[in-house]
Amino acid sequence: MKGVFLMSNRDKIISLLDNLPDYKLGYVLAYVQGISADEASDDAFCDQLIKDYENDPDPDKDQGFALEDCKREWGLA
């Protein structure tokens, strides 16, 4: 394959970004931030949510609701 230049994935992304309209860069930024987030801090956040729920003194916190009842109450049925 003489004369063929293979771009790295990083180079391909940069090339695509150079041709992307500015208004779409926010979407790309949000996606990249999401996939590069620290997994340990995400796990810690989720663990804290579970602890907060388990320690919630509300006696009705485990009450369930039928989907059809919710849809009727919200005017969706």
Q: How far apart are the first and last CA of the chain?
A: 63
Q: What is the pLDDT of residues 26-35, one digit of tens each?
A: 999 988 888 8
* φ and ψ at residue 25, rounded to 5 degrees: -65, -30
Residue 39: its pLDDT value, please?
Answer: 80
What averages of pLDDT result for each successive group of 10 residues across the chain (77 residues)?
80 93 91 83 89 93 94 92
Which residue blocks in the chain are alpha helix, DSSP H?
Answer: 9-18, 22-35, 39-54, 67-73
Residue 1: its pLDDT value, please?
Answer: 59
Global pTM reads 0.41
Distance of CA 20 to the CA centre of its chain: 22
